[in-house]
Structure 1
Amino acid sequence: MLHQFSALKNILAGVALVLLSASGWAANPPAGVTALQSVEGVTEYRLNANGLRILLAPDDSKPSTTVNMTYLVGSRHENYGESGMAHLLEHMLFKGTPNMPNALAEFSKRGLQANGTTTVDRTNYYASFSSNPATLAWYLSWQADVMINASIKREDLDTEMTVVRNEMENGENNAFRILMQRMLGVSYEWHNYGKTTIGARSDVENVDIPKLREFYKTYYQPDNAVLVIAGKFDPEAALKDIVQSFGSIPKATRKLPPEYTVEPAQDGERRVTLRRTGGSPLVAAMYHTPSAAHKDFAALDLASMIIGDTPSGRLYKALVANKLAAGVFAFTMDRTAPGSVIFGANLQTDMDQALALNTLTATIESIAKHPFTTEELERVRNQWLKAWDQGFSDPQKISATLTEAIALGDWRLFFVIRDRIRAATLVDVQLAAERFLVQSNRTEGVYIPTDKPTRSPQLSKPNLQEELKDYTGDTGLKQASAFDPDPNNIDARTQRKTVALQKGKLQLALLPKESRGDRVNVAIQMQFGDVDSLKGQRLNTIAVAELLLKGTPTQTRQQITDRIDALGGQVGVSGAGGGLVIQLSTTAKHIDELTSFVLEVIQQANFAQEQLDEYVSKTTTSIKSSMTEPNAIASRMLARHSNPWPKDDIRYTPSFEESLTAVAGLTREQLVAYHQKFFGVSQTSASAVGAFDAAKLEQTLVQALGKWNAGAAYKRTPEPYRDIKPAQMQAETPDKANAFYIASSMLKLQDTDPDFTALSLANFMLGGSETSRLWMRIREKDGLSYNVRTRLSVSSFEQSGSLSVYAIFAPENRVRIESGIREEFERALKDGFTETEVKEAIAALLNYRKLSRAQDANLVTGWITYMDTGRDFKWSAESDKKVAALTVEQVNAALRKYVQPQNFSSVAAGDFRRKTP
């Protein structure tokens, strides 16, 4: 939610040797630390001196570490006039302490991907970084320092206030988010779950500093916090570092304020209506649910999936299939106290909202008359458990999911809810739906008097300590061995070859390695067509890719989805510009079967008319929604300005209106013809990383692709440098609280040119990181934008690229935003970067690059790119060396050579006519 330090997608190398038992226990915890319990490789400890709880989840398979500090305080703990205080405090902690006044800069220097988020139940601060004992110790020391020494100064609050408003206004642009907030406010009469985490604008703007500090001192204490460390680290060394950093913090003497507000059972339908400019029609229905710790929650979660799933769900069949809605959705909001489930539908403007809403609620509340089936239950159970398994195999996701379980009352709920999902019977799911999805428990519509109202049961929190005292979870967790992501090791471990197919060739890059949960990532790229043969095919390339997994002559969309779910698979297909990329992920047990199945479906896709109709409906709705969004409008205007191609060219950028016309004109015959003419294996590559048998996967790919035709001959579509006349443009977006600015300049540069590395680092320092000039000026000093960035994009094939800059902001701050960006560009060009800036940026950028190579998914896509460009990871190693060798003179020279402010074209989109609030 806050402080998105996404920086770059970068990489990590340092390998720390971790010695631990199969259960994950540290063999010799230091004095003052008590080991409490261990479940499936996750172990809980407590600092005896102050009550800080610690969860360690070691995993050697990926050389990265994630640290997550969770405080059991969220917006539900705020009193009258204090709404938004928990979230605002999250912002303020990043403003520093007397010992470290600029935490963001220190994170950026060390290559940390860090963030902080606030929900109704908890606040957390986390960071992921290349496994390194010194970095871990440093970050733990920062967490200990900020736990008790945050400055929380008025001057910091004043500069941050505009940023918080910017974030608040950004959320105001999302019609569904605001609709859901309004529904929550009506659904809850007394409990703070009815208030938004971002808070009331008046409360946030008038926050009292002494009260904010008091809030901080009350809740930011060791006995109200849980520290989670996941990934590659030494548990015994980590515990010693924790004692060193946190052991001297005294035990809190205060008592936490009691919580006694209980939301009464709802006694009649409620309704909220939202009227705003832009977007697409929505209808929704919300129902109160048990807390996530309640025994009925898992069953109700499964019931909501049965009702809201696409395309098997009850709502999809009742609304989308009958053309009453463009799409449907459903999700539960798991909370420590009783929460909510929401069902909804997206509509096109010409659809009947009243009919859609009536159909939606009637479908939800008819479960007693139309009971669930075993097939429905097993389908969604497979989906749920697949998602759980995928999360459990990723150390970063484990850290995040444990945080959410902590917020629900106990970290072991992460496993307990999974067990309840496994054990839920059809009767359990049916009864849960019948108890809670009732008319009087609904928030959606007008009040209707009822002679015999049906009430949902009164709910209370279970006694988790009693219920979980003997819980152990699954046993026998397998730990994966360490993998060194050094480029030379990646090249040495990867099996490279080109295999002849019957009607084409297949380039392979296979990297077998152990992974948590025996996960495997596979990417397959097919390339076909050229700039001439692809004329008039722009939309077909996109639509065909979207519909490839939606049916064959012998298998329905639902059957395909069920088979992928049964194989525990994640499948993504994307296509544009004469190419197709297929991304697959599952376990070693299923990767060959999943690969064969998906390739067979894609080859035999039949583009059924009902699936095409749904695609047209959804795409039309999406385009119309974008036509009122500042960022979409500005980005498309700028893209069209720099686009010289004729309308039938594959590289052409259409207007919104042209897109709507093209989508409306799509026919099944067009898609079938495109698929038959272009799809083939004349130019195909595949990469895989994870726990798989290389020889077997190669055989699987050769057999599956050997059935394909050659397809249209491939020749890369060029993207030459274009000399674009600069222009400054504007778009009005009435009633939008946020505005968007974007500017871009074309560059005559290739990534093989001597200046490329120096310009990349200059971009990093100008606007590519949280220590960049633009970030420190616009985000930190002036507090004008939630996010401000520059982006450098350069071709590997020709001298063609671009440098762009963008920012989101309140419309009344447009002049300050534009002048601030201009001044920082001019200052960089005039004065250049300092030697210290360059040295620190080099270290940070190299750390980010190392971190990126530690991710299996990045390695898979990296190999696809390298095979396309005729490279390997030696290129990555050489790039590291070039970055490390850069001088301040080279960086400043590259900046001045390629960055010419007068060559930038820009667009500002927003409600610039409204009065300043």
Structure 2
Amino acid sequence: MLKPTLLVLALAASFAAQAAPTRVREVEGITEYRLPNGLQILLAPDESKPTTTVNVTYRVGSRQENYGETGMAHLLEHLLFKGSTHFPDPKADFTRRGFSWNGSTWFDRTNYFAAFSAGDENLKSYLAWQADAMVNSFIARKDLDTEMTVVRNEMEMGENDPENVASQRALGAMYLWHNYGKDTIGARSDVEHVSIPRLQAFYRRYYQPDNATLIVSGKFEPARALAWIEQSFGRIPKPTRTLEKTYTQDPVQDGENLVTVRRVGGNPLSVAAYHVPAGPTPDYAAVELLNGILTNQPDGRLYRRLVIEDKLAAEVSPFSLALAEPGFAMFVAKLAPGAAQERLNAALLSTVEGLGREPVTDEELARARTRWLNRWEKQFTNPEQVGIALSESISQGDWRLYFLLRDRIKAMALADVQRVATQYLRPGNRTLAQYIPTDKPERAPAPAFADLQAELATFKPQAAAAAVARFEATPANIDKATLRSELPGGMQLALLPKATRGGAVQGVFTIRLGTAESLQGQAATAELAGAMLKMGTRTLSRSQLRDALDAAKVQLAVQATATGLSLTWSTTREHAAEALALIGRMLREPRFEAAGLEEVRAAALAQLQEQREDPMALAPNEVDVALDMVPRGHPRYKPTFAEREQDLKAVTLDGVQGFQQRFYGSSQSWLALVGDFDAEAIKAAAGRALASWAAPVAPVRVADVTVDKPGRLQLLPTPEKQNAMMFGVLPLALSDDTPDAAALTVANQIFGGGAGSRLWARLREKDGLSYGAGTGLSLNPQDPRSGWYVYAIFAPAVRAKVEAGLREEAARLLAGGVTPKEVADARGALLSEARLGLAQDAQLAAALARQAMLGRTMARTQKELDAIAAVTPEQVNAALRKYLKLDGYQLVFAGDFR
């Protein structure tokens, strides 16, 4: 007979042997394992960035909800963050550790994910929470009662969005029986009347290891991660219940559907929706390509006809999903100002359904394929994105579908794209929003489930990407690796060459424009000039420029204001110099034409119309206007919506051309690149493209003016808007050089800077009034004009409670002060967030460009972090007493408060 101690050891050894993960397969750098309890594990190690991403995907979404259970999967997503046996307050712990975390619910899955600075304790802690949350979450009535209003507030946000509402109604008309016709957030009545026992039963049924996939990507040691996964998840027993597959299918649609939604506010829009095959089928790849063929800018058929030629739409966009079962494809068109909805509908339908009359061309297919594959490659080279993107393939039945779809896109023949367009994009399979009888109804192919085994039988994984050398993203190491120089003419460079996955390169180029006097009344002209930069050059048409950017794998964003122009892009090592050359041509030789001006003007006016009726845009704009200290026309003036409309309509083609000719130049400009590139080659390319280029009007920085206005509270009416917004700013007459900067930063974190903050805990966790509430601190790096802002979104009926909660928490903070634990947690969260930000190459490039403009280096960043690390509770309390004055806020509540 074994002694008791030996018996315990023997049982432990036996348990460990049973729980050991089994290696299943390796595909393109991702290795799959299984625990005996059924948990699927995917490990995607990548040493190129000092961050780790963990994502747990449960194969349950709104598709699995029964009658009366709509919204249940989404409710569980919220309640899992309310705590479990060993993690009673996970959100506070995530904030303390500086995690970037969230969860999401969709038709076929629910997932929970976090990105954080790589480290054993962070990884072990998050794995332990995920394991505990899987089977030990409270799912308690008290938590449901407070979270209920938060979920309702999230519903109300969606109800304020015309595109969201129109898409919901289209889906409801498309599906007679299948749950894809029901919005994931659920019916209000179901959500409000859900029973805790039923919700707990749903949780116990689906939140089990055999229904989940755990993904770990980024920087970690696989052997240790497997051991911790085994330790956390291996003890969970394999469930004895069996999950039944869903089997509901809608019949083939037997005629056109028309849905009309009438509401106050918002821009008119139309949605043309069609049933399409399930994501795992070969034909779904054709749907993805048809999205691009129809809506890509500037060559997509819908975009070209509706936006450019007929000027019926301000913008068009696709919305299709690779779902586990037969799904849908939507094409959204927002009406241009002054256009007629009937003409828009006719043009939208004739263009989409006209692919049978005007077949897809080889050129159209090649463009769509290139752009789709460029986006896929960019996503796959980012360990934080790919770890979460795999959720969608997992929800379809197998994670390898992520790669199979890519291969199908590459191999898709023109004939198959044309066949799918002809079969599915037809009137009898359409939902727009009208009933039209027809003697000869046309039917789409009958939907069918995918045979995963057959679909994957011929799949051959590509070779895994080569390992990337580790880079320590510390301020000191960044400074050491950054090459700073100045080119003839004044342009300053900050180049940080380092190995990246896929040879990725991130770039930022910023130009200072004009003077306070020369830029009077030029804000709208500057904005539209920047928006037109993608419309071609003197020698490249708009299509040719877009093709050249696609060929160079450039994804480019332009931000233009009256005082500056900033271009942000990504590319790859082999195209880095070519990307700079193209950007130089766009800036120095833009093609400004009347049609292009009208296109960007229409888009700006359409966006403006949406903002005028949206509480979440109205409140911040009103605060900006209230804090203005300069006269109308000044380059830093904040216009009202009416003034902005007037200014946009007054912009002329001559004005745009003249603005570029007078103000664009590189004498005061800053270029920063981060990623895999040859620094000398980039320096030479920058010299050829942008150096020695002086604007006729030499730029002089336009200073911010210190605010000197009393605080005020305003209520803005937004009739029939179900969501309301609180936004306020406390002006601070100081810059980021103030000795109080670190203490103020920590004070903001404690007051409203995260999930563990005082304001969040009061308005969301305790009172359940808001889906999102918090504060933010903006310290101006050059002028004594900073601000401490506060915000919350909520149902209009609880406005008084939201204001009372804000005032009471501010008073409590000032009266009782902060605790040493709050200060320690805030310091830790801020430092972790800073480390995570330095590891994001796009953010790092922007930071280097900004530092170059300010004459700073990462040594300044390290000094700021050191100051935060040394902040004491006494310093925080002194800063709060000195600066936090609610009566000094410009505070605006926008909503329907009748």
Structure 1 length normalisation: TM-score? 0.95
**What per-residue deviation string (whole Å, max 9, x for no partner) do you get for residues 294-325 of structure 1?**
11110122123212222211112322211222
1: CA distance between counterparts of 2:18 and 2:679? 44
Q: In structure 2, which of residues 185, 198, 213 is the aligned counterpart of residue 226 of structure 1? A: 213
Q: Is the CA contact (8 Å cut-off) linking 1:551 and 1:608 kept in structure 2?
A: no
Alignment of 1:763 with 2:748, yes or no, is yes
Contact (CA 8 Å) 2:490, 2:692: kept in 1 or not?
Answer: no
- Give the conservation status (yes or no) of the 8 Å contact 1:549–1:602: no
Give the match for residue 89 of structure 1.
Answer: 76
> Which residue of 386, 399, 407 maps to 2:374?
386
Deviation at 1:461, TM superposition (A): 2.0
Does the 8 Å CA contact 2:253/2:443 hold for their aligned counterparts?
yes
Structure 1 equivalent of residue 5 of structure 2: none
Amino acid at match of 2:876: V
In structure 2, what is the equivalent of residue 631 of structure 1?
616
Deviation at 1:557, TM superposition (A): 1.4
- Structure 1's unaligned 5+ residue stretches are 1-27
Q: In the TM superposition, what is the alpha-carbon distance from 1:519 to its structure 2 partner? A: 0.3
**1 CA distance for matches of 2:417 and 2:788?**
54
Residue of 190, 195, 201 corresponding to 2:188? 201
Q: Per-residue deviation at 1:466?
A: 3.8
What is aligned with 2:355?
A: 367
- Does residue 698 of the first structure (1) align with residue 683 of the second (2)? yes
SS at match of 2:355: coil
Matches within 5 A, 1:75-86: 75-86=62-73
Structure 1 residue identity aligned to 2:352: I
Does residue 303 (structure 1) correspond to residue 290 (structure 2)? The answer is: yes
- 1:823-862 Cα deviation digits (max 9, x unpaired): 1111111111011111111111111111111111111111
Please report how far the alpha carbon of residue 470 of structure 1 lies from its aligned counterpart in structure 2 after TM superposition: 5.7
Q: Please tell me whether residue 405 in structure 1 is matched to residue 390 in structure 2.
A: no
Segments ≥4 residues shifted beyond 6 Å: 28-31
Please identify, of 548-557 and 854-863, the stretch whose mean Cα deviation from structure 2 is larger. 548-557
**3-state SS, counterpart of residue 296 of structure 1:** helix
As a proportion of its length, which structure holds more helix? 2
Query: Which residue number corresponds to residue 6 of structure 2?
Result: none
Aligned residue for 2:555?
570
- Give the residue type in structure 2 aligned to 1:724: K
| Amino acid corresponding to residue 697 of structure 1 in structure 2 | I
Counterpart of 2:430 in structure 1 is 442
Offset at residue 433 of structure 1 (A): 0.3
Q: Decide which moves more: 705-714 or 104-113.
A: 705-714
Offset of residue 587 of structure 1:
0.7
The TM-score with structure 2 as length reference comes to 0.97
- Residue 469 of structure 1 deviates from its aligned partner by 4.6
**Alpha-carbon separation, structure 1, partners of 2:304 and 2:827:** 55
SS of aligned partner of 2:708: coil
**Residue 863 of structure 2 aligns to a residue in which SS?**
helix
Structure 1 equivalent of residue 12 of structure 2: none
**Deviation string, structure 1 residues 649-704 (Cα, Å, up to 9, x no partner):** 01111111111111111110001111111111111211111100000000000111
Residue of structure 1 equivalent to 2:266: 279
What are the residue-to-residue correspondences of 1:637-676 with 2, within 5 Å?
A: 637-676=622-661
1:851 aligned residue: 836
How far off its partner does 1:528 sit? 2.5
The residue correspondences of 1:145-164 to structure 2 (distance < 5 A) are: 145-164=132-151
> What secondary structure is seen at the aligned counterpart in 1 of 2:354?
coil
Deviation at 1:281, TM superposition (A): 0.6
The offset of 1:108, in angstroms, is: 0.7
- 1:881 CA displacement: 1.0
- Secondary structure at the residue paired with 2:529? helix
- 1:520 paired with 2:505, answer yes
Could you list the per-position Cα deviations for residues 72-111 of structure 1 after superposition, in whole angstroms to 9, with x for gaps in the alignment? 0000100001000000011111100122211111111111
1:483-494 correspondence to structure 2 within 5 Å: 483-494=471-482
Shift of 1:707: 6.2
After superposition, give the CA deviation of every residue in 1:625-654 in whole Å (9 maximum; x if it has no partner): 211111211111111111021111011111
- Contact map agreement 1:303 1:430 (CA 8 A) in 2: no
Query: Which residue in the other structure is 2:11 paired with?
Result: none
Alignment equivalent of 2:333, drawn from 345, 360, 369: 345
Aligned equivalent of 2:200: 213
Match of residue 491, structure 2, among 494, 506, 518: 506
Deviation string, structure 1 residues 591-643 (Cα, Å, up to 9, x no partner): 10111012112210131110101111111111112111112111111111110
String of CA shifts for 1:437-488, please: whole Å, max 9, x gaps. Answer: 1111001142222222221111222221343256331114111111001111
Asked whether the equivalents of residues 749 and 756 of structure 1 are also in contact (C-alpha less than 8 Å), the reply is no
The question of 1:68 aligning with 2:47 is answered: no
Whether the aligned pair in 2 keeps the contact of 1:766 and 1:773 (CA below 8 Å) is yes
Distance of 2:561 and 2:651 partners within structure 1: 16
Q: Is 1:892 the equivalent of 2:880?
A: no
CA distance in structure 2 between the partners assigned to 1:388 and 1:340 by the alignment: 21
> Distance in 2 between the 1:847 and 1:549 partners?
37
Mapped to 1, the partners of 2:736 and 2:167 lie a distance apart of: 46
1:684 to 652, 664, 669: 669
C-alpha separation in 2, matches of 1:344 and 1:840: 45
| Pairing of 1:694-773 with structure 2 (within 5 A) | 694-706=679-691, 708-773=693-758
Following superposition, the deviation at residue 142 of structure 1 comes to 0.6
Q: Secondary structure at the match of 2:34?
A: strand
What's the CA shift string for 1:353-387, capped at 9, x where partnerless?
11211121111112121111111000111100000
1:440-589 matched pairs, under 5 angstroms: 440-469=428-457, 471-500=459-488, 504-589=489-574
Amino acid paired to 1:92: L
What's the offset of the Cα at 1:30? 10
How far, CA to CA, are the matches of 2:293 and 2:881 in structure 1?
Answer: 59
**Aligned-partner Cα distance in 1 for 2:510–2:245:** 58
Could you say what the CA RMSD is over the residues aligned between the two structures, in angstroms?
1.4
* Partner Cα distance (1:796, 1:661) in 2: 32
1:716-767 residue CA offsets vs partner (Å, 9 max, x unmatched)? 1111322112221111101100001112111122211111110111011101
Deviations 1:536-573 (A, max 9, x none): 11112211111112122322211111111111111112
Specify the alignment match of 2:419 in structure 1: 431
In 2, the alpha carbon distance for the partners of 1:707 and 1:875 equals 30
**Residue from 776, 780, 796 that aligns with 1:811:** 796
Tell me the distance in 2 between the aligned counterparts of 1:528 and 1:368.
50
* Secondary structure at the counterpart of residue 729 of structure 1: strand
Partners of 2:73 and 2:105 within 8 A in 1: yes
CA distance in 2, matches of 1:208, 1:739: 28
Alpha-carbon offset, residue 400 of structure 1: 1.4
Is the 1:606–1:672 Cα contact (8 Å) retained in structure 2?
A: no
Shift of 1:32: 2.0
Instruction: Supply the distance in 1 between the matched residues of 2:207 and 2:356 (Cα, whole angstroms).
Output: 47
1:169 match: 156
- 8 Å Cα contact 2:722/2:896 also seen in 1: yes
Q: Secondary structure at the match of 2:281?
A: coil
- Deviations for 1:166-199, whole angstroms, at most 9, x for unmatched residues? 1010110001100000000000001000000000
- The structure 2 residue matched to 1:107, chosen from 89, 94, 98, is 94
Q: Which consecutive residues of structure 2, in runs of 5 or more, have no partner in the other structure? A: 1-15
CA contact (8 A) 2:661 2:695 kept: no
More displaced 10-residue stretch of structure 1: 142-151 or 341-350: 341-350
- Structure 1 residue 708: Cα displacement: 2.7
Is 1:55–1:227's contact at 8 Å kept on the other side of the alignment? yes
Aligned-residue offset at 1:867:
0.9
Is the 1:54–1:228 Cα contact (8 Å) retained in structure 2?
A: yes
Distance 1:796 1:451 in 2: 70
SS for the counterpart of 2:746 is: helix
